[in-house]
């Protein structure tokens, strides 16, 4: 009971912390957030996923966000409810699992490090399907560890739901079946079946099951074409982090980089320590198998950002593993440096918040980086809610901020991932219903490769569509830029 109460307190504390600092913080140059919010708002309004909209992944996260919009209204705060819930619950489960495997003191350390480091990069604290799926997966893993018939059933439901959010998380299901086949296989399988059937029935009722299946095949063929990255990669490469650093500054940068790279370092560390503990029969193999599967599910993009989504379990296993190897009474010596570094990173969360300013928008009061405040105010003074806007090629969060209508079924177009077929379909939509406004990001090869380093040789442009845009739209005079996208308006009819 004490462990449960402390875990609940952790949930409340982290939720309040995020509610204050992140509930209305808008990262204008984040690609991923609008990929959830724009389609989810349209689904809340009656659109059918896969039939009416191009959906990026499984429908789970879109359903979650659409339900929240339906129940609570559309605003930046309601858009952040899943994120806040996910991270707060992950922190609570980190404490619960660490305490079950070790002690409350070890659990407190693991939870503190997890919370400080995971919330330090505010650009990652946005709506993303992988936060949902990772949280559901962690719930399932904790249920398996607790090991009862009801918990096995709940684990199956959680893993099934995680797979509806991020299909690759389905790999946890057979891995878990192998580990529990002697005791919990039947209730676990029943739980998975319940969630799988519920999702399939909902899609079928909307006439979207076959379009969903077709989209999964499309993703299997097209998603990896530009999304392959090295393990632990950062945008722009690690070498760029050291530019201009010399002497002691280079040492400081190296320490900071080590902390930044924790989502990539911790799984490797946990494998080494946990493998030893399993060999000594001091820990169960299940957590080791689960963590390996979670890392595999980050493929084809196991970069730093994607590894951060599944970092909770590596934090637990690393801290618990080290604490079991440290002589009794000497753990505090090993904890001092990580604690100080985590506090330094936590201060970054406060610092980036202080570098933002409030601005009123159609989705409520936003906090945006001071650099972008004037730009956003000018865009909002031109572009009004319910007017038509096309954002090209990505940054669909602009649809959400402005509350404009997207005339296409695509929230984004990714060069190399989308083919000429998707380009032509989007162009047909634009020709049929030409939007009043265009937010146009003219990609450079260098900028494209910075985000998609494996896309060498891929043209970052949709030539036919962009030719039509440039023929029918013109930039404002004077030009108006928003986080790398330029506002254009439709040319007067001749």
| Domain range list for the chain | 2-23+80-350, 356-490
Q: How many residues does the chain have?
A: 494
Q: Which of 51-60, 222-231, 401-410 has the highest mean pLDDT?
A: 401-410
Q: Are 261 and 304 in contact (CB under 8 A)?
A: yes
Structure tokens at 365: 């009061």
Q: How far apart are the first and last CA of the chain?
A: 74
Structure tokens at 119: 């919330």
pLDDT tens digits along 63-89: 999 999 999 999 999 999 999 999 999
The pLDDT value recorded for residue 222 is 86
Residue 278 CB neighbours (<10 A): 16
pLDDT at 2 over 50: yes
Closest of 337, 88, 259, 400 to residue 391, by C-alpha: 400
Closest of 410, 415, 420 to residue 443, by C-alpha: 415
pLDDT tens digits along 159-202: 999 999 999 999 999 999 999 877 889 999 999 999 999 999 99
pLDDT tens digits along 290-313: 999 999 999 888 888 899 999 999
pLDDT tens digits along 98-112: 999 999 999 999 999
pLDDT tens digits along 324-371: 888 766 666 677 888 888 888 887 777 777 888 899 999 999 999 888
């Amino acid at each position: 009971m004490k462990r449960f109460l402390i875990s609940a307190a952790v949930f409340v504390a982290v939720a309040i912390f995020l509610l204050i600092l992140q509930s209305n913080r808008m990262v204008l140059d984040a690609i991923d957030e609008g990929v959830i919010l724009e389609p989810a708002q349209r689904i809340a309004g009656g659109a059918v996923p896969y039939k009416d909209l191009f959906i990026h992944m499984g429908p789970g996260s879109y359903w979650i966000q659409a339900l929240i919009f339906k129940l609570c209204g559309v605003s930046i705060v309601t858009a952040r409810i899943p994120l806040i819930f996910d991270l707060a619950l992950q922190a609570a489960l980190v404490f619960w699992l660490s305490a079950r495997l070790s002690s409350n003191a070890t659990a407190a350390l693991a939870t503190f490090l997890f919370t400080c480091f995971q919330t330090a990069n505010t650009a990652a604290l946005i709506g993303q399907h992988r936060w949902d799926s990772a949280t559901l997966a962690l719930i399932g893993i904790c249920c398996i560890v607790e090991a009862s018939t009801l918990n096995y059933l709940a684990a199956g439901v959680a893993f099934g739901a995680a797979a509806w959010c991020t299909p690759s998380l389905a790999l946890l299901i057979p891995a878990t079946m192998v580990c529990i086949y002697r005791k919990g296989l039947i209730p676990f399988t029943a739980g998975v079946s319940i969630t799988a059937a519920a999702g399939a029935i909902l899609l079928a009722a909307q006439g979207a099951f076959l379009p969903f299946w077709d989209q999964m095949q499309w993703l299997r063929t097209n998603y990896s074409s530009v999304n392959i990255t090295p393990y632990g990669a950062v945008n722009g490469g690690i070498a760029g982090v050291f530019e201009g650093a010399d002497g002691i500054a280079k040492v400081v940068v190296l320490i900071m980089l080590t902390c930044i790279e924790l989502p990539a370092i911790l799984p490797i560390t946990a494998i080494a320590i946990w493998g030893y503990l399993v060999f000594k029969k001091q820990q169960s193999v299940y957590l080791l198998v689960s963590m390996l599967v979670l890392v595999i599910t980050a493929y084809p993009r196991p970069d730093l950002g994607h590894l951060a989504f599944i970092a909770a379990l590596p934090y637990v296993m690393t801290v618990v593993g080290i604490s079991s190897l440290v002589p009794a009474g000497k753990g505090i010596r090993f904890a001092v440096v990580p604690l100080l570094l985590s506090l330094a990173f936590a201060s970054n969360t406060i610092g980036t918040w202080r570098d933002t300013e409030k601005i009123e928008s159609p989705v409520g009061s936003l906090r945006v980086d001071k650099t972008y405040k004037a730009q956003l105010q000018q865009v909002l003074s031109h572009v009004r809610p319910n007017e038509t806007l096309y954002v090209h090629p990505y940054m669909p969060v602009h649809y959400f901020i402005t509350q404009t209508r997207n005339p296409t079924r695509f929230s984004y177009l990714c060069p190399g991932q989308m083919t000429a077929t998707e380009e032509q379909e989007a162009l047909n939509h634009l020709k049929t219903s030409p939007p009043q406004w265009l937010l146009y990001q003219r990609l450079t090869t260098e900028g494209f490769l910075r985000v998609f380093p494996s896309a060498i040789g891929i043209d970052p442009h949709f030539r036919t569509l962009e030719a039509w845009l440039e023929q029918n739209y013109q930039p404002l005079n004077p030009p108006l830029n928003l986080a790398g996208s330029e506002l254009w308006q439709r040319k007067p009819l001749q």
